[in-house]
Amino acid sequence: MGDKNFNLPPGFRFYPTDEELVVHFLQRKAALLPCHPDVIPDLDLYPCDPWELDGKAMAEGNRWYFYSRKTQNRVTGNGYWKPLGADEPIFTSGSKEVGTKQYYVFYVGEESAGVKTNWVMQEYRLSDSGSSSSTRSSRRRGNPKVDYSKWVLCRVYESEEDDDNGPELSCLDEVFMSLDDLDEVSFPN
C-alpha cells in the first residue's frame, strides 16, 4: 500500500459530507463497484495508533480517511478506541436512511486505566437494508466467500476543541509536560 499515491491533483480538496461518504464511497465499496477517483485505501486500523496513519491513509488537511473491516476489537499497540454516545443516522437528501455514524475517542494505555487523548474517529457503517442488498449483489457476481457488507469507512482527526477545563493535550504534549521543569534548564545567552 505504501507505493500507492494518495495525493490529489492541485486545487482538489477532499471534504465529503456524511451522506457522500456513505452513498458515493462506502456503498460502492460494499457493492464491488469502482469508485472514481479511487483515493480511499483499505487499512486494518486496529494495529495502528492514530498518529501512525500518515502515509497509510488518505489525508486531507488534518483528517485521514480509509476503509477497514468491521470488528468489535478496537485495540491498538498503545491504546484503544472507546465509543462515545449513540449511533447517529445518516440520511440522503430524500430522507432515506443509508447508514450510521459512531464516534470513538482514542485512549492511551490499558482499557481499565487509559488516558483520554484528543484523537477522534468517526466510523461510518451501512444501514441494514443497504448491507443486505450488497450481500446479494456480491453473491450474484459469483463471490460468496467475501462479504463486503462488513466494511466501514473511517475518518480520523485530532480534535482542537477546547474544554471548559482548558485544551486537551496530545500524547506527546503530555510526555513533554512530564519532563523536568524548564527552570532547571539553562539556556545560552
Would residue 95 count as lying in a domain?
yes
Would residue 180 count as lying in a domain?
no
pLDDT at 17: 93
Residue type, 146: V
Residues with Cβ within 8 Å of residue 87, at least 6 apart in sequence: 100, 101, 102
Would residue 60 count as lying in a domain?
yes
Would residue 137 count as lying in a domain?
no
**DSSP of 96-127, one letter per residue?**
-EEEEEEEEEEEES-TTS-EEEEEEEEEEEE-
Integer Cα distance of 1 and 27 in angstroms: 22
Would residue 173 count as lying in a domain?
no
Would residue 184 count as lying in a domain?
no
pLDDT at 41: 92
Does the pTM exceed 0.95? no
Q: Please, what are the averages of pLDDT over each run of 10 residues along the chain (189 residues)?
A: 54 88 92 83 87 91 92 90 94 92 96 93 83 44 55 93 53 54 56
Would residue 71 count as lying in a domain?
yes
Q: Cβ(20)–Cβ(13) under 8 Å? A: no
Query: Which CATH number characterizes residue 103's domain?
Result: 2.170.150.80
pLDDT at 13: 81
Would residue 31 count as lying in a domain?
yes
Number of domains in the chain: 1
Q: Which of 90, 36, 76, 37 is nearest to 156 (CA)?
A: 76
Q: Which domain holds residue 47?
A: 18-132+146-161
pLDDT at 53: 93
